[in-house]
Structure formats: C-alpha cells, structure tokens
Amino acid sequence: MTYQTTLSGPALCAGVGLHTGERARLAFKPAEANTGIVFVRTDVSSAERVIIADGRHVTTTQLGTTLANEDGVSVSTVEHLVAACAGVGLDNVIVEIDGPEVPIMDGSSTLYCQLLMQAGLRQLPALRRRIRILKPVEVRDGGKYARLVPSEVAGGPMEMRIRIDFPSAAIGEQVCRFTLSPGAFSESLAFARTFGFANDVEKLQAMGLARGGSMENAIVLDGDNILNPEGLRADDEFVRHKMLDAVGDLHLAGAFIEGIFEADQPGHAINNRLVRALFDNRDAWEWTTDRPASQVRAAAARVSSGPVARAQI
C-alpha cells in the first residue's frame, strides 16, 4: 500500500512569469491528507483567494494552463510546478504565491523538483488515492487526439506514449514513451524546456504574452535553427517537454492515474479536454475517496512551519 505524502517542511523560491514578466514569490507549505495541490494568492485581499488545482477549474490553455476559482481569482502557467509535484510523488501541498503567474524558472521542472526534494517528503496516515481507468476515453481536434485507456498492469503507474511533428527541421517527428515511476520524472523529463519560435514573439507580446520569455527560460527557434548557444539538453527535448506538460495537465485530475495516456500532437487545450471528458464519463474510471472544497479551504489555513528550502532565479 502507498501512503499520501506532504512536505517535511516549507520551501521558498522566486522568479519571473513567462507571459506576464512579473516577479512572484512562492512558499510551499505542508498540508493535511486529502488536500491535494492548492494555490493561495497572498496578494489578493479577497477572502476567497484559494484556488484548487483541479482540471475543471482551468479557464484558459493558451500557451499555458490557467486555474481560477469562482471569484475569478486566478494563477497561470501552473503545469511545470504541478508536473514536479506529480514527478516527485507529492500529494498534498499549499502553494502561496504573491502574483498572478507561477515563475517559469529555466523553462523546465528541474528547479521545482530540486526544491521539493530538498524540503523533503513525509508520509501521512492516509492511503494515496488513484484514478483507475476502466474503459477508453478519447478527445480529438482535427488530426490531434488524446486518450486514456486501461492499464495493462493492474496497480501500476501511468504509462505515456506521445508523438509530435513540426515542420521545423530542428524538431521534425519525435516519439516518446514514458512510465511515471518513482525517480523517472526527475531523470527523464524534468530537464526538458519549453520552446517557441522567434517570429512569433512580436505577435505574442502584442497579445500580452511572452513578456518574460528569453533564451534563459526557453528554447528559441528561427525556422530550422536553434538560437540558444548551448543547444539542446537532449536530441528529443521537444517531445520530452510535451510529455512534461502532459504530466502536469493530467495531474489536475486530482490524483495519480492508473492507465495509459496516448496522444498525437498534444497541447494544454486537448490535455484539459481529456481531463474534463474523463470527469464527464463517470463509468470510465473509479477511485475510493473525494475531498470537499470546505475541507481543502480549512486545510489551507493550517500549515506547518520548520526549516525552509530556498531557490531563486
């Protein structure tokens, strides 16, 4: 049996948002069992500043995943942080943030993984909840698709199989298979950075996006060329980052998934559509417990103190 986890103590970091360009400070704090991942906007005076990391609370998926609560208080670009939580096996955490966007750090999940592991994990006296896929659930968008199907191994970790294909010769067709087992995320996916094309920058900035983007936190391409002087961290870093994003987006289902994820040309929009389709098909999955919003808000007010892990970029 696997028990739920939380942090052994608090952790701090700070950085700049990819799209807003605004600096934000994060404080990760231990949480009770069945809390899940919860964001608290400390810069908002409203009493309703708690934002639950739940796929049904996703409001936008344009170049990132944004969560919001019923009062319209939001936090954006959450996917790399949520992926790190899933990757290190962290079930319950309060994330206090004093700005509207999660810092992009170096464009990957590496620093978040390192910070969480430095703070340490401890077990809680409650069994980990899992979502077991019972029958296939699929969404399509033209030639793109994403699906969840039952696992071939009962009780095993989520398996992931995705394909991407870009006209740029620097990317081309790439395929990745991955199993979300202990330690695998930090070793195989966490380092993979987000990427974009230089000729899109002006258009994105006119839309209020990519204001904090640079070659310090993204792979930048110009046609078939990679502009970053250090090059790639892996030949298939692009598809690995798409897999990283999918880990974060799928974990917004609220628990670890026992099943197989397959996708062609995945992105935040289709990933979230799949999570919503899963919730809508109640006979396609099962789990043993759920958590009421009142319990989550109460848990957000009761956080632990202790040694603090710190990181900044």
For residue 19, the Cα-to-chain-centroid distance in whole angstroms is 16
Beta carbons of 133 and 147 less than 8 angstroms apart: no
The two structure tokens encoding residue 313: 């970029």
CA distance 79 to 132: 22
Give the CA count within 13 Å in the CB-facing half-sphere of 301.
8
The residue annotated as part of the active site, out of 19, 241, 251, 268, is 268
268 is annotated as an active-site residue: yes
∠ CA 113-115-119, nearest 5°, is: 115
Letter for the amino acid at 21? G
Catalytic annotation, residues: 268
